[in-house]
């Protein structure tokens, strides 16, 4: 099915024949779910059980095809929109994986393909994380839109858990042989899309620079809330996987992610303005994630000590410089709004991820 995206979409579509039953069986975690092959290794008095290395490999590729309409591994275009069928499958995949609040335990061989899928839906996931999706944060049961312009509307909690579930998947190795995680690609996609969102405001008319400036504070709230959630996912990774290497895109390549091989085809295309603003950014988000993780470990995180928000504020400041508004009152207001919303997004994410702790 990965070679025939339309067939994959139809097979998994919850509104076509047995589509939901197929998802429940193949990626579900309750009664009736398939028992995939496992390996059992005897280590003294213990028996260590892990998934077979090939378990769900083909399934991950088929899900990628069915949710994106492309064969697996194809370079991602501009994020969204998707057909109604593709969006229905994606919405159902997230809901099925998170049944019972278990979305943060995604099987290993689904992490990379679903990470690519989530990045193909960056426009939708940013809206959900940023709180401006339909009926956010509780979401809706069905995608919104019609024809070839449909978007997912999952709850924020479910999306956060599934994004966490795929984040520690390994995409490849860097020049030092250390793993590059799916989280790197997810964060970079959100960062680039945030600049697009700031510049276009989605449904906000953009007839002049003045109009753009006056609406920055509104858009920056969503950007701050989205990155509060993303940094919480990164913090959770550090705590759960102490050897997790995150931040490779930033630390190793200085945003030159196209030189990172397998990661390049996980990041959607960005417009010229977004790319210029991102290239101009001088902050290092990975340090913000790491610093905040240390504060959490010490129990020092409070409403005033979210160090990760500095990178979010930096993104807005660097973007405003590309629009000739550096240091303006509008920029100051936008940065302040982003900081407050960052705290909201971070705390909501911690709450969602604590469900399974």
- Per-residue three-class SS string for 203-248: CCCCCCHHHHHHCHHHHHHHHHHHHHHHHHHHHHHHHHCCCCCCCH
- Of the candidates 74, 29, 36, which has an alpha carbon nearest to the alpha carbon of residue 56? 36
Q: What percent of the chain has pLDDT over 70?
A: 78
Q: If pLDDT is split at 50, 70 and 90, which confidence band does 198 have?
A: confident
Give the HSE-up count for residue 109: Cα atoms under 13 Å, Cβ half-sphere.
Answer: 19
What's the alpha-carbon Rg for the chain, to the nearest Å?
A: 20
What is the residue extent of each domain of the chain? 1-167, 168-357
- Mean of the pLDDT values across residues 66-78? 92
63 pLDDT band (50/70/90 cuts)?
A: very high
Cα–Cα distance between 295 and 298 in angstroms, integer?
5
> Containing H/E element for 200?
helix 182-200
- At 45, give phi and psi (nearest 5°): -80, -5
Per-residue pLDDT reduced to its tens digit, 273-307: 666 666 655 445 556 676 677 766 666 655 445 56
The Cα-based distances of 136 to 100, 141, 155, 156, 309 in angstroms read: 20, 12, 7, 7, 22
Q: What pLDDT was estimated at residue 259?
A: 45
Q: Give the burial string for 53-71 (b: 16+ CB within 10 Å, else e).
A: eebbeebbbbbbbbbbbbe
């Amino acid at each position: 099915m990965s070679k025939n995206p339309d067939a994959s979409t139809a097979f998994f579509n919850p509104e076509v024949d047995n589509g939901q039953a197929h998802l429940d069986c193949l990626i579900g975690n309750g009664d009736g779910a398939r028992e995939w092959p496992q390996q059992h290794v005897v280590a003294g008095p213990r028996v260590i059980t892990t998934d077979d290395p090939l378990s769900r490999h083909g399934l991950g590729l088929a899900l990628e095809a069915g949710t994106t309409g492309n064969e697996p591994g194809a370079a991602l275009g501009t994020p969204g929109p998707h057909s109604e069928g593709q969006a229905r499958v994606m919405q159902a995949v997230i809901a099925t994986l998170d049944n019972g609040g278990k979305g943060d335990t995604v099987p290993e061989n689904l992490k990379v393909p679903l990470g690519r899928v989530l990045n193909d839906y960056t426009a939708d996931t940013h809206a959900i994380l940023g709180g401006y999706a339909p009926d956010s944060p509780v979401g809706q049961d069905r995608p919104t839109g019609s024809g070839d312009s449909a978007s997912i509307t999952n709850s924020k909690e479910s999306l956060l858990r599934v994004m966490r579930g795929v984040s520690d998947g390994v995409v490849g190795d860097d020049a030092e042989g250390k793993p590059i995680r799916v989280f790197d690609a997810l964060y970079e996609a959100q960062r680039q899309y945030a600049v697009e969102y700031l510049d276009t405001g989605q449904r906000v008319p953009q007839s002049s620079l003045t109009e753009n400036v006056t609406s920055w504070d509104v858009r920056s709230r969503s950007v701050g809330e989205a990155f509060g959630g993303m940094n919480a996912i990164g913090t959770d990774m550090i705590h759960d996987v102490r050897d997790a290497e995150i931040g490779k895109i930033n630390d190793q390549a200085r945003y030159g992610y196209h030189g990172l091989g397998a990661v390049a085809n996980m990041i959607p295309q960005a417009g010229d303005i977004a790319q210029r603003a991102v290239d101009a950014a001088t902050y290092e988000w990975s340090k913000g994630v790491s610093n905040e993780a240390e504060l959490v470990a010490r129990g020092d995180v409070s409403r005033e000590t979210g160090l990760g928000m500095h990178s979010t504020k930096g993104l807005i400041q660097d973007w405003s410089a590309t629009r000739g508004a550096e240091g303006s009152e509008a920029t100051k207001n936008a940065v302040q709004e982003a900081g407050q919303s960052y705290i909201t997004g971070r705390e909501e994410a911690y709450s969602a991820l604590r469900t399974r702790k």
